[in-house]
Amino acid sequence: MARDYRFDEIRPAIERLMTDVPATGTGKQETVACQEALDFDVFWPPHDPGLPDQRRRHPILKGAIETRMIVPSEEPAFAAVSITLTRPRDEMSREFWNNRLAFPDYAWMSQVRVWDANERWLWPNLPCLLRLPGKERVERYGGVDPGKGVDNDFAAVLIRSYDAEGNETGATRAAPFVSAEWHPGDVRGAVDGHTVVHVARSDDLKIPLGEGQPGSAGKFAVWLIYADFMGFDLPSSWPQEPEYAGGALAWFEFEWERKADGTWQTKLRNAAPPGNTGFDWENWVAGVKRP
């Protein structure tokens, strides 16, 4: 029988990641100097979080972005960033999810859905739905579209780092930090098409902060994208250049400063993306190793 994994079951494991833990076998200590989290909603199609009618719309996912400023004992400081997506799981939400994402004009949708004995679409396994790595149609829902010849059914997190003046730093100038892997919290062996999982957590992306010395400052931008919008229009306040065949679901800016006394000051906000990622998704996808 499929199990419905709840976020409150995996939250303790996520919180354990935020404590001081020595690196395995090294004795090195990594101190979490400060941390910040922000809740947000994911709409389909996307919706500008600054518009006043947002609260009257029904989100398909509830999100949380977490940032931790980590100061290792013998290495430069870095920020660890992750996004957790949680799907509302009552019956109304199941019907809304199914209807909103039905795409009846695509005949192949009936081939990738998972049906129960009453011919009702089961809750799709959320990490399986979002991830890019893994065996097509087995460890992930996505795969190469036989008509278009591309694989763009995935969600990804991309981060670019900037100095205090807004110039992109060397940490991401050549290549941003990007991941399209999604995990079912701390539940192992549950990335498949039949196990009902409502929570998907991204990789922890680690962003170097230079030396992170007192008096230093910077910021980074975080894009949460889905690579195929299935013909939906982007919001007018969104950058109109697509991300592969999709666009941003949400965008965040994280500002940080280390004061002269060594304390940290941070600010995290969710807003309409000021621009697209500028990333070559098609070539990147081709380089992702999938069995």
Q: Which domain holds residue 189?
A: 7-18+28-287
Task: Give me the mean pLDDT over the 35-45 stretch.
Answer: 93
List the structure tokens of 173. Answer: 């100038």
Beta bridge pairs of residue 160: 221
Q: In 3-state terms, what secondary structure has residue 275? A: coil
In a domain, 283, yes or no: yes
Question: What is residue 227's predicted lDDT score, i.e. its pLDDT?
Answer: 94
Is 133 contained in some domain? yes
* % of residues, the chain, pLDDT over 90: 43
The two tokens of residue 129 are 């739905």
Give the Cα separation of 8 and 13 in Å (integer). 10
Tens of pLDDT along 142-175?
888 777 788 898 999 999 999 999 999 988 998 9
Q: How far apart are the first and last CA of the chain?
A: 27
Whole-model pTM: value is 0.85
Q: Which of 50-59, 216-225, 277-286 has the lowest mean pLDDT?
A: 50-59
In a domain, 159, yes or no: yes
Per-residue pLDDT, 212: 72
pLDDT band (50, 70, 90) for residue 3? very low
Confidence of residue 20 (pLDDT cuts 50, 70, 90): very low
Whether 214 is covered by a domain: the verdict is yes
Distances, alpha carbon 208 to alpha carbons 70, 170, 243, in Å: 10, 10, 25
The length of the chain is 291
Average pLDDT value for residue range 185-210: 80
Q: Is 235 among the domain residues?
A: yes
Q: What is the pLDDT of residues 111-146, one digit of tens each?
A: 666 666 676 777 778 998 899 998 887 888 888 877
Predicted local confidence at residue 243, as pLDDT: 95
The answer to whether position 1 is within a domain reads no
Within a domain: 2 = no
Given a cut of 90, whether residue 185 has pLDDT beyond it is no
* Whole-angstrom distance, CA of residue 85 vs CA of residue 200: 5
Amino acid identity for residue 207 in this structure: I
Number of domains in the chain: 1
Among residues 163, 144, 161, 166, which one has the least CA distance to residue 223?
A: 161
pLDDT of residue 19: 39
Q: With CA atoms as reference, report the closest residue to 61 among 91, 94, 87, 90.
A: 87
